Amino acid sequence: MTLVVPFDGSELAEAALVRATEFGTVFDEDVLAVSVVPNGNADYARERGWIDPDEDFDREAVVSTLHRQVTDLCPSADFRHKLVDRYAPTGSIANRLRAVARDEDASMVFIGSENAGHLVTAVSSVGGTVATDASYDVVIVRHRRPTKIATLRDASPHRTPKSDFYFPG
């Protein structure tokens, strides 16, 4: 079984990843951070801070940035990225995340979302759609606190990175 974390690099995604890693330590389960990237969509990437305002879209650079964020926070976590079309229809990102969670036989999915916990079925975000799948439990992380990500990261006994696949040489 695996703990899956949809990861877009936001502060709440970081908080969800750290919490999943702590759960993984207790439950002796692997943690998998999954990023879904609309290929070639510079506007989407700029909105999420993956690239600078004047920077062109570079898939490898975007994926490398996300991977580095994951391993900087939780070196023991695995990282995977999925691509969707530049103009992917609504729901494509959530559907990819749900498919990964099912394929990995996720026992829990940790979603960082400010609004997913209010009324899951009415949420139009990726988090709400992923949270409605009944094949796994869902932990909704709505606050960056009370955890202190740097403190947890530094205290984690799982500081050995698993992969350097997207790290530039």
In this structure, the number of other CB atoms found within 10 A of the CB of residue 140 comes to 21
The closest alpha carbon to 68, from 53, 55, 79, belongs to 79
166 or 41, which is more confident: 41
| Res 121: pLDDT | 46
Structure tokens at 51: 């690239």
What is the per-residue pLDDT across 124-162, written as a single tens digit (0 to 9) for each? 455 556 666 666 777 888 766 655 555 655 666 555 566
How far, in Å, CA of 103 to CA of 70, rounded?
A: 21
Q: Angle, nearest 10°, between helix axes 59-73 and 11-27?
A: 50
For residue 151, the model assigns a pLDDT of: 60
**Over 50: is that where the pLDDT of 123 sits?**
no
User: Is 2-155 a domain of CATH 3.40.47.10?
Assistant: no
Numbers of helices and strands, H then E, in the chain: 6, 5
The per-residue pLDDT for range 46-93, each reduced to its tens digit, is 999 999 999 999 999 999 999 999 999 999 999 999 999 999 888 899
pLDDT for residue 136: 72
Kindly indicate the confidence band of residue 120, based on its pLDDT and cuts at 50, 70 and 90: very low
CA distance 66 to 137: 25
Cβ atoms within 10 Å, residue 138 = 19
List the domain boundaries for the chain. 2-155
